[in-house]
Structure 1
Amino acid sequence: MKNNLITITDKKSVTAEAYRTLRTNIQFSSLDKELKVITVTSSRPEEGKSTVSSNLAITFADNGNSVLLIDCDLRRPTIHKVFRLPNSMGMVNAVMNPDLLPEILHKDVVPGLDIITSGAIPPNPSELLGSKKNLKLMEELKTRYDVIILDAPPLLAVTDAQVLTTLSDGTIIVSYHGVTKKEEITRAKELLEKVNGNIIGVVLNGIPEDDSSYYYYSYDEKKRTRKVK
């Protein structure tokens, strides 16, 4: 495991507690609609979305949920590196042939957490993610897990994250302190709204730990900012 899995390596740290608070915020962000499938994306690369999605998945599993983390970044996959898993088969293979799922699933990588890596990079990621085959696969997986987290590509680079948003119950935008520009977050939000995406909130990570591990901005009716410690 890499050191950025702070929810494993240092469960009592400020950052690990921040992820648990984020999990709680997500659970209570919508009382009328179950948030079973959650897409985690960013506006641009290198903002830490895969770190956020991985640690968030772990905190859901630690809370007694059956969780599936899927690497849907079929252009620059990362999850297999984060958890040090083989990646010869993965999401791409599962879409094309769901019968291969038993071979593709990495079971209980962390207790309660299964993982599907990306597999080989396909020539047409957007088309594959938006296909009827993928929709059918997602419907099947939803019957097996309490929570499914989709690690998606950045919004401003390709349309993949927009496609995945249409398959999910809510989307989180990850941004990085001192790097992400306000207009990039605004543009990312606009792209999700074009496909009627349910934006759960924005996670700002990279905040110095003596200040806060990150901020969570919730798109609820009060539009308030929560400081997560």
Structure 2
Amino acid sequence: MAKKKKNVSNNSSRRTNRNDQLNLEEVYRQLRTNIEFSQMDSELRVLNVLSTHPNEGKSSVASNLAKIFADKYEKVLLIDCDLRTPSLHKMLRTSNGEGLTNLLTHYRQDDPLLEQDEIQELELDDQSSLFFLSAGSRVPNPTEIISSRRFASLINSARSQFDQVIIDCPPAFAVSDAVPISNLSDGTLFVLSAKETDKNDAREAVDDLKRNGANLIGTVMTKVPGFMSRHYYGYGYGDRNER
């Protein structure tokens, strides 16, 4: 069965920065609403989140968005597919002892994912829960794993077994893993940092994703000056034609 943890959020930080936390939660609720209404004729059950380069905020966006979806839906799965430099387990203060790479060694099509030991159930501060699949043991061939039929089968099973699936994807310029993950997803969110992102690199990455069939549904801006200035961190949402 899925392993259960408790209190993945930092309670003391929440008390000292309550207003900032409430503002951030409201931004993500609005982002969730935008996603839900962005394509009325198609279901966006599996979303992947990526950026151009590392350290632009994609993992923070993925984890916070997953928590907000978990506030509304019973079964939300967050997957760390950044097999080279996983970070979600640190953000969530949980283990990366066994995760995606370990699950794929024995996974069979349509296996009940909630019965897999590699999937952890994390209890959030608001008493909702989030299911989490960490990256798992390091492997020598991450791209082959992400491009495998077994990985595709797992994502398709997750689509049918969970209300929402959020995938933290490797940066587009770092490796080629972003393309197969985006092709398996129903929609892609592209993260831009107001501080670090080079607009030409971002444009090239977006064009490459579109050429390869990704459904780019929107952009998320991080580290926006003046928004929640104490942390120098904020978000914006743009439509899928925005660059």
Is TM-score (shorter-chain normalized) higher than 0.5? yes
Please tell me whether the aligned partners of residues 118 and 133 of structure 2 are also in contact (alpha carbons under 8 angstroms). Answer: yes
Counterpart residue type for residue 154 of structure 2: L
Deviation by residue 1:61-99 (Cα, 9 ceiling, x = unmatched): 111342000000000001110111111110001122127
Counterpart pick for 1:103 among 117, 142, 145: 117
Compute the displacement of 1:2 (Å): 5.9
Q: Which residue number corresponds to residue 35 of structure 1?
A: 44
Distance 1:153 1:224, change over 3 A: closer
Distance 1:189 1:71, change over 3 A: same
Distance 1:163 1:191, change over 3 A: same
Deviation by residue 1:24-64 (Cα, 9 ceiling, x = unmatched): 10010110100000000000000011100000000001113
Q: Which residue number corresponds to residue 183 of structure 2?
A: 166
Percent identity of paired positions between Structure 1 and Structure 2 = 37
Please tell me whether the aligned partners of residues 73 and 163 of structure 2 are also in contact (alpha carbons under 8 angstroms). Answer: no
Which structure 1 residue ranges, 5 or more long, are not aligned? Answer: none
Is residue 146 from structure 1 mapped to residue 182 from structure 2 by the alignment?
Answer: no
Distance 1:7 1:127, change over 3 A: farther
Q: Which residue number corresponds to residue 62 of structure 1?
A: 71
Q: Trace 1:1-229 onto structure 2 (pairs within 5 A).
A: 1=8, 10=18, 13-98=22-107, 102-110=116-124, 111-207=128-224, 208-209=226-227, 213-219=234-240, 223=241
Task: Say which SS state the counterpart of residue 103 (structure 1) adopts.
Answer: coil
Please tell me whether the aligned partners of residues 174 and 202 of structure 1 are also in contact (alpha carbons under 8 angstroms). Answer: yes
The alignment of Structure 1 onto Structure 2 pairs a total of residues equal to 220
Runs of 4 or more above 3 Å deviation: 6-12
Counterpart residue type for residue 105 of structure 1: I
Counterpart residue type for residue 199 of structure 1: L
Deviation by residue 1:72-128 (Cα, 9 ceiling, x = unmatched): 000000111011111111000112212796210101433231000000121111110
Please tell me whether the aligned partners of residues 42 and 173 of structure 1 are also in contact (alpha carbons under 8 angstroms). Answer: yes
Q: Quote the Cα distance in structure 2 between the aligned partners of 1:104 and 1:39.
A: 20
Compute the displacement of 1:136 (Å): 1.4
Task: Say which SS state the counterpart of residue 103 (structure 2) adopts.
Answer: helix
Q: Quote the Cα distance in structure 2 between the aligned partners of 1:217 and 1:2.
A: 28
Which structure 2 residue ranges, 5 or more long, are not aligned? Answer: 1-7
Compute the displacement of 1:149 (Å): 0.4
Higher mean alpha-carbon deviation, 8-17 vs 117-126, is at 8-17
Q: Quote the Cα distance in structure 2 between the aligned partners of 1:141 and 1:77.
A: 20
Compute the displacement of 1:209 (Å): 1.5
Task: Say which SS state the counterpart of residue 204 (structure 1) adopts.
Answer: strand
Counterpart residue type for residue 24 of structure 2: T
Q: Quote the Cα distance in structure 1 between the aligned partners of 2:31 and 2:221.
A: 11
The normalised TM-score by structure 2 is 0.83
Please tell me whether the aligned partners of residues 219 and 242 of structure 2 are also in contact (alpha carbons under 8 angstroms). Answer: no
Distance 1:196 1:224, change over 3 A: closer
Counterpart residue type for residue 204 of structure 1: M
The normalised TM-score by structure 1 is 0.88
